Amino acid sequence: MKIALYTHSTNPRGGVVHTLELGHALALTGHDVTIFAPDPAGAGFFRQTAARHISVPCAPAPKNLHAMMFQRVAEISACVRAYGEHFDIHHAQDSINANALAECVESGHIKNFIRTIHHVDAFTDPQIQAWQHRGIHAAARHFCVSETWQNYLRREHNIHADIVPNGVSLDRFSPDSSLRDITLRAELKLGEGPIYLAIGGIEYRKNTINILKAFERVRATHPGAQLIIAGGASLLDHGQYQQQFRTELAVSSAAKHIILTGPVADADMPSLYRIADSLVFPSVKEGFGLVVLESLATETPVIVSNIAPFTEYLTGDDCSFCDPNDPDSIASVMLQSLFATARTNAIRARHKIASRMSWHASAARHLALYKAAITPEFSHA
């Protein structure tokens, strides 16, 4: 099959990682896979894959989300009109690309497309909300990465979505230490710790302010504790929440012990997990949480919210659950994650969970659904 995968940027975000890893695994099976992504800087992706990559010609994105979506949809649809007829499958991983593909279906340049819904946001702008709705309903077939969102689509949109699994590379995310672990620790000026790691930057969805409040409580017991907040590349505007975080940080007793890295080099991510004593990931909403699998693959204990989708694939023997709305609960679990039992559970979870969630298995599931999609009924949908 000739498969086109579409992702919204070349930034290291969960949906982009999912697309790259899926495309790589599909290409290794012998299929012809091309990944499309807007790339205004022309830098390419942060990770090499066996799939072909086409940079969508585009201008720098406006800061306004409405203007950005309007511009990106036009740019992507123009690119699809140039290349679209060459592919058997068009598969969008986000709302922006889904709207671009919807326009190409309406103009007759492609017959249909598949959409993976990782999660659904709530927007106050009615036009953006309408675009999100269109990006869901215009697809001829739907996938999602968890039962949580499968149930949501059935309940709120009367849509059936097939489950496609996420994965993790056990070769790449390994507990085996490297020289880079030592040099990265030095570059970040880390002490004896304990070291806590939060990934995703400063966002409401990542619950960063409550992580800060919990960390302040942890330092009462462990004065040497440090918190790394890594990542943060996003197309969405998180300025208001980030200002609230900066206001909290300005008066925080823990401010000098918090390290804001911004986006981290992809090659450094395994080391970043390994130098942490635990991953703190109490999201208030998540599509799946790929970083959870990556952390467990390095045998680093994980703290997550006691909500779905985490409760779908994790148990209390795999991770530590907390109430994401209660900093005291998060802090209590952060302290518990330092116990030897947490490390033992992470070691066991690497084999129990990460080993059965491979990108090879994800690619096989996608291929079965792609083959089912290439039928006369689907082709004329």
Closest CA to 63 of 55, 52, 74, 71: 71
Output the CA angle 134-122-5, nearest 5 degrees: 50
Q: Quick one: 67 and 185 in the same domain?
A: no
Tokens of 91: 């598969």
Q: Quick one: 294 and 335 in the same domain?
A: yes
- For residue 205, count CB atoms less than 10 angstroms from its CB and return exposed for 0-12, middle for 13-18, buried for 19 or more: middle
Residue pair 216/253 in contact (Cβ under 8 Å)? The answer is yes
How many CB atoms within 10 Å of residue 198?
A: 25
Radius of gyration, CA atoms only, the chain: 21
Q: Quick one: 227 and 268 in the same domain?
A: yes
Q: Quick one: 108 and 230 in the same domain?
A: no
Tell me if 225 is assigned to some domain. yes
Tell me if 250 is assigned to some domain. yes
Tell me if 173 is assigned to some domain. no
Q: Quick one: 226 and 330 in the same domain?
A: yes
Q: Quick one: 154 and 227 in the same domain?
A: no
Tell me if 126 is assigned to some domain. yes
CATH code for the domain of 262: 3.40.50.2000
Q: Quick one: 45 and 80 in the same domain?
A: yes
Domain extent at residue 105: 2-167+358-379
pLDDT tens string for the chain (381 positions)? 999 999 998 888 888 999 999 999 999 999 999 999 999 888 889 889 999 999 999 998 888 889 999 999 999 999 999 987 789 999 999 999 999 999 999 999 999 999 999 999 888 899 999 999 999 999 999 999 999 999 999 999 999 999 998 999 999 999 999 999 999 999 999 999 899 999 999 999 999 999 999 999 999 999 999 999 998 766 667 789 999 999 999 999 999 999 999 989 999 999 999 999 999 999 999 989 999 999 999 999 999 999 999 999 999 999 999 999 999 999 999 999 999 999 999 999 998 887 788 999 999 999 999 999 887 655 433
Q: Quick one: 93 and 230 in the same domain?
A: no
Residue 277 to residues 132, 228, 343, 351, 355, Cα–Cα distance (Å): 38, 11, 9, 19, 21
31-58 tens-digit pLDDT: 999 999 999 888 889 889 999 999 999 9
Tell me if 14 is assigned to some domain. yes
Q: Quick one: 240 and 157 in the same domain?
A: no
- The pTM for the full model equals 0.90
Residue type, 164: V
Q: Quick one: 70 and 139 in the same domain?
A: yes
Q: Quick one: 227 and 308 in the same domain?
A: yes
Tell me if 157 is assigned to some domain. yes
Q: How many domains does the chain have?
A: 2
Tell me if 174 is assigned to some domain. no
Tell me if 219 is assigned to some domain. yes
